[in-house]
């Protein structure tokens, strides 16, 4: 067996994630590890939770990173709260809404889908109407930033309606957290998960999650054990809480990385960071429209960090994307599911969200078109 | 918020895992990442699978790392094969056998426990007898290296008996893989998982897993979808196989690390590596017996890489372990579950399995006793 030293191309990651990683995060990943019950590690855990609370804008005690990627966060968010037959309302206008349905149905939930076309939001009225017709729903779930379509879903009205009811408000912020406002407490969100590899610019492998005391009460009242041992919050909170009771071996190096990624965000300031994503997202859209692309997502509800475009005839797909990768080391994303081959998804997430990247990408496209 | 630059103590990790990491692995973790669908990454995936097959001694096509720690591997191994009511025989003589029972029962399996005292093996005859009485069992599961007791479970006889039957042979090799022989094909193992943070000396966060074609056939014949979306092998194999179909974003940096950890093992040679663990495990036991410790595990079935001892009266627990950590930067493990406060678990795993570490630990204990 002859497997050589690791050598990888230096890519500019402008797809739907992962995004580029700061040298500061890469450096801490090379830190020799310590044990998951080492007193020095317990301090690190607390610091991570503290910064995650700041980022999620929440006082929730249970605010922890799950030891898996964003999809593990999604599964954690459903598996801990659903018992067979529970009613769950899910907004679906893209692949990640569809994934929520799949996850919930595997847990024998009674799923009520509220759908819109891909590229559109689901109007808050439509979600609220569904809840009014299903006031016994245990969970109402929706994706904040639909990575498959580039749409930013408004949440405040829905949250306001749910706040004083029994239903739990579950929100996917995998692509939004760290790149635009996420206000868990103010918006009345009860269960919220994200991923590290998008606007946090930390390698994939962890899923920050926060749950409200209202959600924790529901968890405590379960009649059956949580289906998943690995993702069981009743045990995970004993490790992340004061008790420090061993559950599974935490992914130490990834947590070092998350801590540094969060420190970078605190150094920049969350408001500055959101403004950077907004400004450069606007610029990217303008440049792409000038190139003949058209927005796939509703222009009034387009994400700054993930821009979905229909491409003009002069763009050959997937050949153009392949050339961007092989000749310019730029990764942009294609469509997923029903948009496969029909759209591009151009990311501006965290470290990847830089003026120089936009200029280089636009010039690269122009060069390829000219040749 | 004032969270400082990451500074951690330099520990010698001689507990039950994680183990120390080679500088080669730490270095590759600082590699800028590439996308999970990048052609360059797909080659890396293939190389990892190829080396894992070598280590597991298997030709199994489905030999992949799961995106979670060893416990996620355990859950993957059960959730993909169990449907409600399925009979599962589980050998229990330590915490990780108990964990298997918990995982299986959450999936509504009909669990038949075969128990021995902690510190003992489960005799192969006893396991085979249980199977003879339950020939309709879908799975027979057992832990190869019981990390809570330091016991090495014999597997060959059990495997020989199962080979020509319908029951699947499921084995936990979290602590054994990379430190002693694991022969998946020869021993007739159908489902086998491990973890990266023990004898592979890669940070925690991935769980290598291999399944036989017999197991895959059972998976394909399921009447219901796999309970867990995140761990569903029918989808994971589409990403790791020729199709490269997107499932979840792979933990890129961790996979870089695993690739390098496996390269180190190939460079050393698996036989040399097992011999090193055996030789130094024997030395550690001798030194500890000289200090007045006694083996907790059956001396005829003690693991080389995880040594469980009862301690003499002159050892104060947990004070002595705390002093080893704070004054000597050495981590050793205490007991888990019913052995908490009663035993020590001293690991010699992968990079941690070095003569210098044994000498230093023994001297440190002597110094603390003398003071």
- State the ipTM, two decimals: 0.98
Checking DSSP bridges between strand A306-310 and strand A343-347, what pairing results, if any?
antiparallel
pLDDT band at A350 (very low <50, low <70, confident <90, very high): very high
B263-279 average pLDDT score:
98
Partner-chain contact B75 A228, CB within 8 Å: yes
Partner-chain contact B13 A20, CB within 8 Å: no
The structure tokens 């035993």 sit at B343
Residue B8: its chain A contacts at CB < 8 A? 31-32, 34, 40-41, 44, 256
SS3 per-residue string spanning chain A: CCCCCCCCCCCEEECCCCCCCCHHHHHHHCCCCCCCCCHHHHHHHHHHHHHHHHHHCCCCCEEEEECCCHHHHHHHHHHCCCCCCCEEEEEECCHHHHHHHHHHHHCCCEEEEEECCCCCCCCHHHHHHHHHHCCCCCEEEEECEECCCCEECCCHHHHHHHCCCCCEEEEECCCCECCECCCCCCCCCCEEECCCCCCCCCCCCCEEEEECHHHHHHHHCCCCCCCCCCCCHHHHHHHHCCCCCCCCCCCHHHHHHHHHHHHHHHHHCHHHHHHHHHHHHHHHHHHHHHCCCEECCCHHHECCCEEEEECCCCCCCCHHHHHHHHHHCEEEEECCHHHCCCEEEEECCHHHCCHHHHHHHHHHHHHHHHC
CB atoms under 10 Å from CB of B268, counted, come to 14
Residue B251: its chain A contacts at CB < 8 A? 69, 203-205, 254
Which candidate, B115, B108, B185, places its Cα nearest to that of B143? B115
What residue ranges define each of the domains in chain B, with the CATH number in brackets?
Answer: 12-17+270-370 (3.90.1150.10), 23-266 (3.40.640.10)
> Mean of the per-residue pLDDT values for chain A?
97
Q: Looking at chain B, which residue has its C-alpha nearest residue A11?
A: B34
Strands (DSSP E) contained in B164-254 are 168-172, 191-193, 207-211
Partner-chain contact B30 A30, CB within 8 Å: yes
Partner-chain contact B204 A250, CB within 8 Å: yes
Distance CA A31, CA A34 (A): 9
Distance CA A250, CA B170 (A): 24
pLDDT reported for residue A23 = 98
The answer on pLDDT for B371 being more than 90 is: no
- Please say whether the beta carbons of A291 and A362 come within 8 A: yes
Q: Taken in order B107, B112, B114, B117, is the CA torsion positive or negative?
A: positive
CA distance B19 to chain A (A): 8
- Around A137, how many Cα atoms within 13 Å sit in the side-chain half-sphere? 25
DSSP letter for B301, please: G
Instruction: State percent of chain B over pLDDT 70.
Output: 100
Q: Looking at chain B, which residue has its C-alpha nearest residue A66?
A: B68
**Tens digits of per-residue pLDDT, A193-202?**
999 999 999 9
The answer on pLDDT for B61 being more than 80 is: yes
Q: Which of B1, B195, B336 sits opposite A54 (nearest CB)?
A: B1
Residue B15: its chain A contacts at CB < 8 A? 35
The answer on pLDDT for B332 being more than 90 is: yes
Distance CA A221, CA A146 (A): 32
pLDDT band at A81 (very low <50, low <70, confident <90, very high): very high
B301-306 average pLDDT score:
98
The answer on pLDDT for B1 being more than 80 is: no
Checking DSSP bridges between strand B139-143 and strand B168-172, what pairing results, if any?
parallel
Q: Which of A10, A33, A79 sits opposite B21 (nearest CB)?
A: A33
Residue B60, classed as helix, strand or coil, is: coil
Which candidate, A270, A264, A263, A306, places its Cα nearest to that of A288? A306
CA distance A71 to chain B (A): 6
- Judging by beta carbons within 10 Å of its beta carbon (0-12, 13-18, 19+), is residue A27 exposed, middle or buried? middle
CA distance A164 to chain B (A): 31
- Judging by beta carbons within 10 Å of its beta carbon (0-12, 13-18, 19+), is residue A60 exposed, middle or buried? buried
B278: which 2 tokens? 């055996």
CA distance B205 to chain A (A): 5
B10: which 2 tokens? 């330099």
Which candidate, A138, A74, A130, A131, places its Cα nearest to that of A106? A74
pLDDT band at B298 (very low <50, low <70, confident <90, very high): very high
pLDDT reported for residue A371 = 87
- Judging by beta carbons within 10 Å of its beta carbon (0-12, 13-18, 19+), is residue A23 exposed, middle or buried? exposed
The answer on pLDDT for B75 being more than 90 is: yes
B338-343 average pLDDT score:
94
B55: which 2 tokens? 């280590």
A39: which 2 tokens? 């007193």
The answer on pLDDT for B256 being more than 80 is: yes
Start-to-end CA span in chain A (Å)? 41
Residue A263: its chain B contacts at CB < 8 A? 3
pLDDT reported for residue A252 = 98
Please, which residues have CB within 8 angstroms of residue A189's CB and are 6 or more apart in sequence?
A: A155, A159, A169, A170, A171, A212
DSSP letter for B189, please: -
B259-264 average pLDDT score:
98
Distance CA B224, CA A79 (A): 17
**Tens digits of per-residue pLDDT, A325-336?**
999 999 999 999
Strands (DSSP E) contained in B15-167 are 62-66, 87-92, 110-115, 139-143, 145-146, 151-152
Residue B46, classed as helix, strand or coil, is: helix
Q: Looking at chain B, which residue has its C-alpha nearest residue A337?
A: B246
Q: Which of A40, A69, A102 sits opposite B249 (nearest CB)?
A: A69
Partner-chain contact B32 A11, CB within 8 Å: yes
B188-195 average pLDDT score:
98
The answer on pLDDT for B302 being more than 80 is: yes
A160-164 average pLDDT score:
96
Distance CA B87, CA B137 (A): 5
Q: Looking at chain B, which residue has its C-alpha nearest residue A227?
A: B106
pLDDT reported for residue A360 = 98
- Please say whether the beta carbons of B324 and B311 come within 8 A: no
pLDDT reported for residue A1 = 76
Please give the backbone phi and psi of residue A302, each rounded to the nearest 5 degrees, phi first: -95, 140
pTM above 0.95, yes or no: yes
Burial string for A86-103 (b: 16+ CB within 10 Å, else e) reads: bbbbbbbbbbbbbbbbeb
Which candidate, B17, B195, B331, B1, places its Cα nearest to that of A40? B331
Q: Taken in order A241, A243, A244, A248, is the CA torsion positive or negative?
A: negative
CB atoms under 10 Å from CB of A113, counted, come to 14
Helix or strand (DSSP H, E) at B333: strand B330-334
CA B248 distance to own-chain centroid? 24
Q: How far, in Å, are A232, A236, B174, B286, B296 from residue B299 at the CA level?
A: 36, 35, 21, 12, 8
Please give the backbone phi and psi of residue A129, each rounded to the nearest 5 degrees, phi first: -60, -45
Please, which residues have CB within 8 angstroms of residue A186's CB and are 6 or more apart in sequence?
A: A57
């Amino acid at each position: 067996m002859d497997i050589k030293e690791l050598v990888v191309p230096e890519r500019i990651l402008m797809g739907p994630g992962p995004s580029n990683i700061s040298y500061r995060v890469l450096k801490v990943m090379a830190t020799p590890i310590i044990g998951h019950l080492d007193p020095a590690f317990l301090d690190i855990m607390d610091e991570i939770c503290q910064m995650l609370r700041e980022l999620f804008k929440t006082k929730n005690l249970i605010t922890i990173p799950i030891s898996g990627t964003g999809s593990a966060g999604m599964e954690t968010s459903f598996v801990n709260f659903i018992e067979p037959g529970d009613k769950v309302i899910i907004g679906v206008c893209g692949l990640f809404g569809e994934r929520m349905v799949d996850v919930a149905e595997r847990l024998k939930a009674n799923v009520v889908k509220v759908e819109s076309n891909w590229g559109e939001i689901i109007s808050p009225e439509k979600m609220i109407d569904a809840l009014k017709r299903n006031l016994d729903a245990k969970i109402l779930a929706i994706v904040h930033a639909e990575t498959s379509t580039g749409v930013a879903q408004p949440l405040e009205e829905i949250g306001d309606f749910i706040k004083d009811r029994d239903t739990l408000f579950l929100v996917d912020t995998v692509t939004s957290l760290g790149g635009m406002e996420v206000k868990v407490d103010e918006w009345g969100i009860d269960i919220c998960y994200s991923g590290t590899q998008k606007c946090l610019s930390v390698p994939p492998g962890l899923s920050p999650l926060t749950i409200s005391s209202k959600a924790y009460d529901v968890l405590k009242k379960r009649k059956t054990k949580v289906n998943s041992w690995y993702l069981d919050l009743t045990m995970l909170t004993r490790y992340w809480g004061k008790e420090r009771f061993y559950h599974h071996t935490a992914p130490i190096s990834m947590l070092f990385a998350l801590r540094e990624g969060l420190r970078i965000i605190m150094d920049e300031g969350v408001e500055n960071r959101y403004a950077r994503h907004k400004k450069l997202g606007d610029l990217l859209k303008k440049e792409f429209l000038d190139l003949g692309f058209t927005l796939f997502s509703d222009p009034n509800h387009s994400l700054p960090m993930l821009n979905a475009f229909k491409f003009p005839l002069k763009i050959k797909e997937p050949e153009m994307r392949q050339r961007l990768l092989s000749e310019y080391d730029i990764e942009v994303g294609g469509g997923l599911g029903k948009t496969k081959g029909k759209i591009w998804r151009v990311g501006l997430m965290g470290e990847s969200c830089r003026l120089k990247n936009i200029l280089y990408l636009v010039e690269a496209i122009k060069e390829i078109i000219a040749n």
